[in-house]
Structure 1
Amino acid sequence: MSTGREIRLVEEDDGWWSAIDEDVGVASQGPSREEALANLDQAVAATRRARAEDTSAPEPDAPWFERR
């Protein structure tokens, strides 16, 4: 059964995978496609819960993230 989600998977230069859910505006990564997708599912669920509860989504803790 299709969920209708459009997800983009990218294999990075270091061999890790990035998974991006463009509709929700969430991305995650993992050392394999499967782990990147599993991590993305968790990130999407957390973001949807935060939006439903009208609370802030968790702050990214990635060292390359730069708040503008």
Structure 2
Amino acid sequence: MSTDSSANHSDTPSAKITLTQNDDGWWTARDERRGLTTQGETRDDALDNLDDVIDAVENDRGDQPTDEELREAGIDPDDNTTGELPDILK
């Protein structure tokens, strides 16, 4: 979990992770150094989700969305021809 300081890599700077409980009861976890943010119904869920995102970003895991996945997210793939991500995916 993100709160385990022994899990930090010796070649990476110290992490600063903030946890905020939102008005709706959900939790937001933000890694300030990497600029990554996730949410979860509990603190642990938010931190676990953040760990997953950090792993995906740092280890180049994940795939480009398919045209079908873009359409399901309300994005027209034909409008995304410049190669830049639409605001919703940034």
Name the structure with the higher helix share.
Answer: 2
- Residues 4-55 of structure 1: per-residue CA shift (max 9 Å, x gap): 32101010000000000011111101000011000000001101122xx8xx
Aligned length: 61
Give the gaps of 5 or more residues in structure 1: none
Higher strand proportion (structure 1 or 2)? 1
User: TM (normalized to structure 1)?
Assistant: 0.70
Between structure 1 and structure 2, the one with the greater Rg is 2
Q: Quick one: percent identity of the two aligned structures?
A: 36
* Segments ≥4 residues shifted beyond 3 Å: 56-59
Equivalent runs, 1:1-68 vs 2, <5 Å: 2=5, 3=8, 4-50=14-60, 67=87
Unaligned stretches of 5+ in structure 2? Answer: 9-13, 75-85
> TM-score, normalising length from structure 2?
0.54
Q: CA RMSD in A?
A: 3.1
Q: Distance in 2 between matches of 1:30 and 1:20?
A: 12
Greater RCO (CA < 8 Å, at least 6 residues apart): 1
